[in-house]
Structure 1
Amino acid sequence: MLRSVYLLFGILVFTAATDRQVAACGGSAEGLVCNGHGSCGSDGVCNCELGFSGDFCELTVRLDASVPTDQCNYGGNYNNSKCNCRNNYSGQNCEKFTCTSNTDCYNGGHCYREDGRTGSYCVCPKGYSGADCYVESCSPTWDEYGHTTTYCNNGGTCQVSEPSTTRNYYTSWCECRTGFNGTKCETYACSTTDNPNLCPVGLKDDSGDSLELTCVHDDTADDDYCGPCPSHRGGLDCGIVYCGAKENGNELTVCNDQGRCVMNTCLCKPGYAGDTCEDEACTSRNGKCGKHGTCIVDPNGDSMFGYCECNSGYTGSFCDKCDAPLKEHYHYIVVSDGKGSYNVWDNTTVCAETACVFDGTVCNNAGSCVFNETINNWGCQCDQGFEKDPNTGMCVPNDGSCSTIDNICGGQGVCEFNLDIKNKKAKWQCLCRPRSMLDERTKICVSSMCFSSESATSACSGRGDCTSQATCACFDGYAGTYCSSCADGYRANPNFPSLGLCLRDYCLGDDTCGGRGTCIFHPREGYVCECDDDFFQDPDTKRCVQCQAPHCLHCGTADYCMECMPGYYAGVDGVCKKCDPACVSCTGPGSKDCLVCAPGTVRTDTSGTTSGCGPECSEGGDCNFCGAVIGGSKYCSRCSDSSSYPLDGVCTSSTNSRATNACETIGDGVCTSCNKKYFLHQGGCYSAGHVPGSEVCAVAAGNGSCSQCNSGFYQGGRECTPCGNNCAQCTSSTNCQNCTHGFFLQGGSCVGCHESCVRCSGPGADKCIVCKTGYFGQFLANGGTSGSCRSCSDTKSIDGLAGQKGCSMCRIDLTGESPAFLCLDPVGKGLSGGAIAAIVIVVLVVVGGIAGFCIYWFLFRNKTKTGGKKLRSRTADDTDYVSLMNTDDSGAFI
């Protein structure tokens, strides 16, 4: 009994509360809650339907941004003096909109995205407009934002609100004629309190006579209409003309006089087609059936006209209408630009079933919707260059835009048609799921954890792959959480630092290559060492390794020399051999194989590659002053004859044809201006193509001067000026930059190394970088780059290395498991002093024995043959004379 009382009390309380809510929500004169356009909430406030506003949903609003300030835009609910906006709308009057995904767009619209980023409004399909595509649009044209719309009803005019700086989307609404109302001007009122009949006047009946219409109220539809309409007119105010009827005075035509009107539909004569028979019928050639039908012409008939047989899903006289259950959808005609994007050329409409529609487009704008009898349903047939995504059934490009067909978007997104209608551009790209982002390099969706704030478009900075664990696996040469830094052994490309490209660093961060060269950048190889003299680049490690070949300046391998030190030449076996004492450099062992002669002498022939050497310049005779010093030898700088001048350091008369060609201006025994094939130096003309000029100038300027001086000289005005003593490279006579062998640089001058060093970094014996012949570098065995040089004959063992007694040429072999000493001097590997003395004694005994035998033989033979008789004298002319002792041209016996 008590439970029943409680139950009854609860019912009464609920009923009373409900009544209070209804009372709070108010009602219309007919007693409708919220005027029949909303529901009453638990707080007693009306929740209005889309298109209505006000405290009691009594206000009808347009779904655009052109409403009074006391109303809310886009169907927002105006309550308690403020707007309660729909989802994604904001602002005082709900005038702002931002979409985040396609679900925010109505009627198949999709959220506008540029380059994969979420935009601020929806791109709408045909027939819809507004920020979220909820509003039915009315413009019959395709504007720059891709909206195709329909006419307003009953003669209403379409008002278009174009995009502006404050609103980047398109919207439209109908302005109705007098008496018509509704979103599409679909309702009509032909009477008012002041005028009970507002129907049109001046219409004609089917006979062409004047017709008077009467306003009638339809209680069932709560609407007015005018009547009776003539048979060729319809509509609430008889404003719709059936079958294309035309009133020309008293003459009435229907179906353009090319057919008859039956049930408000034109039945056209042969050869005509269309809703009002306004078009020619199809033929086998005129293409009237478009892309969705075929013209069927009776081959046995007399007419060339036929009818359109439509493909599945299409209907209409010209197959331009959709057949149920298909509906019309927007389609863009695009052409590839060859750069991964497409140009939008045109737009059209196609018919498709719901199964073929993806993200507001038919088959992802890359195929046709066809009926598949196997599955008894509609599906996509993809265009050339596209394949069907097995997961969505939509068409995706097979050019890698969304990765491969078996890994669309990396399994973390969908491949969708992305339209930039404003710029007439389109492309297919991945739309990623939450917590995933599009990687521009791979074109797939990967975890957002692989993106840094500096690189929001490429995972792992484009230098690695994002793993399934949402971490970066960096490519070779890159390191860091996002692969944004160079790994050990790599360095950034100096030409494009902003790109973050890392290249192999064979210099290992040392720009001096361990004091053995200079680190340079090579666009293909990366950072490599350009080795100094006495070193070569190891082909595997790219590091500078010291040459081990004796007397070598540049070597190809440790033992094969390509350029020898002064006084030596490289043989075909890569071994440096001594030049003739007359030569500083040579190509062979002879005295005429000199490239450069020893100081104090000059080449006797400057025209050939090699030459013999003769005395240097001496004053008196042809030369007045020997002031030019090249390679330590003197050359003439002023001739005794005022009409002569030095040519290649030798006085030459101006009457000599070669001399005339070389010097342009001669005066007082010198040349002051040389022609373009020569350069001026110390009062004479020299050629850079051969010695001695090639020792001074590397490249002639072609205007009588030198453009690039050789080692040992610097550019002093138009002439090359000698550097200081023992300086190989300088910028002035007092500022040396690089010294010759045996000297090191100190304060702009060259100071001699220790006697055991060829190259050094300082004055001490422990500062050697390259050892002189007869010494070996103990420091090489320990992996060092400089240190002390030990004599090849030093037999003391240090760290397992000891020289050999009597050895005068040696090196350290570093090719084995441990360093080893190698003596290269065959004499040093010879016999002991006692053995040599014994050999000398044996040789003397043998020579003495042979000489004694020969004397005995001649004496004994002559004594036997004379027998005490007088000897007969014989000459060389005697035919039986044979001499055992002949001499060669030098007088030596052979």
Structure 2
Amino acid sequence: MFYSTVLILCELVLVTSKECSNSENCAAGDNCLDIKVSNTPKEVCTKCAATHVPINGACQAKDGQSAVCTPPGVADGTCQSCKGENYLYEGGCYTACPQGAPNPETNTCDGVPAPDCNIPNCEACSEDKKTCTTCQPGHLLTPEKNACLGACPAGSYAAGQACTPCDPSCAECSGAGASRCTACPAGKMLRYADEGRPADGTCAEGCVEGPECEACGLTIGGTKYCSKCAADRWAPRNGVCADTAAARSPFCTSASGGACTQCAGGYFLQEGGCYQTTRLPGKGVCAALTGDGKCQRCANGLAAVSGTCPLCDSTCATCTEPGQPGKCSACPPGRYLDAGNACRPCTEASGSIQGVAGCVSCAPPYPPSGAVTCYVKRGDSAGGSVNRGGLSTGAIAGIAVAVVVVVGGLVGFLCWWFLCRGKA
């Protein structure tokens, strides 16, 4: 082949690794290789700044190299694979392999030792080089072992140097178990374990119209909250009906017909209810209050109108326009931002982006083509689903086997006993 001939003529020899000095966009550290091309020394960068990728040993702006290089899901200044007549070598794409022979079927350089898993901030990789087993200090390993991040992704919590999946009932959590939720899936509301010190709790059903709540007219993040209580002197506080006359917890200074028209200090008015910025669902709507019970700065990216925050579409965490599903700027847990600025579930496809079955926490690929980077899958925790009593399916199976063995042994003994005694 032509490229093999080029390799023989060039007589490329790998010498050593060092820090590049001839490329301002080469990432700092041990990211430069010295090679020889026909006995002429040449430097090639193996990892660039996040906005660039290595092309033929030099850092090029990644936005202009989408036809050549496919970066990993998390931008780290390298190529994960190459396209066309380009071949992957040491994190970069080359028209001719610096070492080994080009393989047009895989766009890789054959005969080169398998590189470590292409995961930024990974210290040790698995034997098959596909996942990470240990992250560098200051980084945490995701449950799917495909990323090393500064903080655990939504749907998981830190346990040592790795992230562990939350209980399936939680969208976010502070630890193990259904009582450690810090955010809930759409349709569920967070019930704090200690109402006086909101930190974590359990996820319960959202608003249901009935004897206490007359209208569930407020929707935040896909969950319904009460907007009008059935009793005149009651009003929604943090989305749940409460007595406005209770002296211990004044929150509404003016109520009428089961709704509040003026909130006390520390609360803001939203759809007939008073909400706090220190707890859900209020802190997802308003970030800063005025002194007269109104919102000064919204948490969802929109501007307050007369002290009230317009609401984003229920699929968005933040947005640029209220109520529009295609105007999201950030997504809640379990969704990713697609090319049309809509937040799609991690399990669903959008255009050239593919979803991942069972995924509950993800990031979109870059460039926007291929599968999402799934950080957490439902069922990741402890090798099996958990029943309501807390036993994993593996534990239940083990107990069942033990019971069968014991019962079988007992039956055998009884048969032997009666047969032998009968003959005697």
TM-score (normalised: structure 1): 0.26
Q: Equivalents in 2 of 1:652, 1:754: separation in Å?
A: 37
2:225 corresponds in structure 1 to 635
Shift of 1:750: 2.2
Residues 687, 693 of structure 1: 8 Å contact kept = yes
Q: Equivalents in 2 of 1:565, 1:686: separation in Å?
A: 27
Shift of 1:618: 1.5
Given the alignment of the two structures, is residue 750 of structure 1 paired with residue 342 of structure 2, yes or no? Answer: yes
Q: Equivalents in 1 of 2:348, 2:303: separation in Å?
A: 30
1:620 corresponds in structure 2 to 210
The alignment partner of 2:317 has SS state of strand
Residues 648, 692 of structure 1: 8 Å contact kept = yes
* 1:705 counterpart (288, 294, 303): 294
1:726 corresponds in structure 2 to 315
Residues 536, 556 of structure 1: 8 Å contact kept = no
1:674 corresponds in structure 2 to 263
* 1:653 counterpart (217, 240, 243): 243
* 2:187 counterpart (593, 600, 606): 600
Shift of 1:667: 1.7
Output aligned runs, 1:4-19, within 5 Å.
none
Shift of 1:730: 2.6
2:306 corresponds in structure 1 to 717
Q: Equivalents in 2 of 1:864, 1:754: separation in Å?
A: 65
Shift of 1:575: 3.5
Given the alignment of the two structures, is residue 694 of structure 1 paired with residue 277 of structure 2, yes or no? Answer: no
Q: Equivalents in 1 of 2:76, 2:52: separation in Å?
A: 19
2:168 corresponds in structure 1 to 581
1:556 corresponds in structure 2 to 139
Residues 713, 721 of structure 1: 8 Å contact kept = yes
Residues 774, 809 of structure 1: 8 Å contact kept = no
* 1:736 counterpart (316, 319, 327): 327
The alignment partner of 1:855 has SS state of helix
1:786 corresponds in structure 2 to 367
- How many residue pairs match? The answer is 277
Output aligned runs, 1:88-107, within 5 Å.
none
Shift of 1:592: 1.4
Shift of 1:753: 8.8
Output aligned runs, 1:7-406, within 5 Å.
none
User: Residues 18-67 of structure 1: CA distance to partner in whole angstroms, max 9, x if unpaired?
Assistant: xxxxxxxxxxxxxxxxxxxxxxxxxxxxxxxxxxxxxxxxxxxxxxxxxx
Q: Equivalents in 2 of 1:632, 1:859: separation in Å?
A: 62
Residue 514 to residue 669, structure 1, CA distance change in 2 (3 Å) = farther
Q: Equivalents in 1 of 2:316, 2:288: separation in Å?
A: 20
Residues 560, 574 of structure 1: 8 Å contact kept = no
Given the alignment of the two structures, is residue 854 of structure 1 paired with residue 414 of structure 2, yes or no? Answer: no
Residues 339, 368 of structure 2: 8 Å contact kept = no
Shift of 1:655: 2.1
The alignment partner of 2:201 has SS state of coil
Residue 514 to residue 634, structure 1, CA distance change in 2 (3 Å) = farther
Higher RCO (C-alpha 8 Å, min separation 6): 2
Q: Equivalents in 2 of 1:622, 1:845: separation in Å?
A: 49
Residues 51, 77 of structure 2: 8 Å contact kept = no
The alignment partner of 1:726 has SS state of coil
The alignment partner of 1:618 has SS state of coil
Residues 251, 274 of structure 2: 8 Å contact kept = yes
Residues 121, 139 of structure 2: 8 Å contact kept = no
Residue 597 to residue 712, structure 1, CA distance change in 2 (3 Å) = farther
2:351 corresponds in structure 1 to 763
Task: Please tell me whether Structure 1 or Structure 2 has the larger radius of gyration of its CA atoms.
Answer: 1
Residue 578 to residue 787, structure 1, CA distance change in 2 (3 Å) = same
Residues 619, 625 of structure 1: 8 Å contact kept = yes
> Which ranges of structure 1 fall in alignment gaps of 5 or more residues?
1-486, 491-504, 516-532, 539-543, 776-783, 793-807, 811-823, 828-843, 869-894
Given the alignment of the two structures, is residue 644 of structure 1 paired with residue 231 of structure 2, yes or no? Answer: no
User: Residues 801-828 of structure 1: CA distance to partner in whole angstroms, max 9, x if unpaired?
Assistant: xxxxxxx999xxxxxxxxxxxxx9999x
The alignment partner of 1:599 has SS state of coil
Output aligned runs, 1:433-452, within 5 Å.
none
The alignment partner of 2:410 has SS state of helix
Q: Equivalents in 2 of 1:787, 1:711: separation in Å?
A: 24
Residue 597 to residue 755, structure 1, CA distance change in 2 (3 Å) = closer
The sequence identity of aligned pairs, in percent, is: 24
Q: Equivalents in 2 of 1:604, 1:845: separation in Å?
A: 39
Residue 626 to residue 853, structure 1, CA distance change in 2 (3 Å) = closer
Q: Equivalents in 2 of 1:721, 1:546: separation in Å?
A: 40
The alignment partner of 2:300 has SS state of coil
Residues 714, 722 of structure 1: 8 Å contact kept = no
1:34 corresponds in structure 2 to none
Q: Equivalents in 2 of 1:854, 1:509: separation in Å?
A: 71
1:665 corresponds in structure 2 to 254
The alignment partner of 2:284 has SS state of helix
Residues 569, 577 of structure 1: 8 Å contact kept = yes
> Which ranges of structure 2 fall in alignment gaps of 5 or more residues?
1-22, 27-47, 54-60, 64-72, 79-118, 123-130, 142-146, 360-364, 384-399
Shift of 1:854: 2.7
Residues 221, 315 of structure 2: 8 Å contact kept = no
The alignment partner of 1:592 has SS state of helix
Residue 632 to residue 549, structure 1, CA distance change in 2 (3 Å) = farther
User: Residues 627-679 of structure 1: CA distance to partner in whole angstroms, max 9, x if unpaired?
Assistant: 111221111111111211111111111221244x2112112211111122111
Q: Equivalents in 2 of 1:669, 1:786: separation in Å?
A: 51
Residue 588 to residue 549, structure 1, CA distance change in 2 (3 Å) = farther
Residue 788 to residue 825, structure 1, CA distance change in 2 (3 Å) = farther
> What is the alpha-carbon root mean square deviation over aligned residues?
5.0
**Residue type matched to 2:342 in 1?**
C
Residues 50, 75 of structure 2: 8 Å contact kept = no
**Residue type matched to 1:589 in 2?**
A
User: Residues 236-263 of structure 1: CA distance to partner in whole angstroms, max 9, x if unpaired?
Assistant: xxxxxxxxxxxxxxxxxxxxxxxxxxxx
Residue 633 to residue 753, structure 1, CA distance change in 2 (3 Å) = closer
Residue 745 to residue 682, structure 1, CA distance change in 2 (3 Å) = farther
Q: Equivalents in 2 of 1:809, 1:662: separation in Å?
A: 40
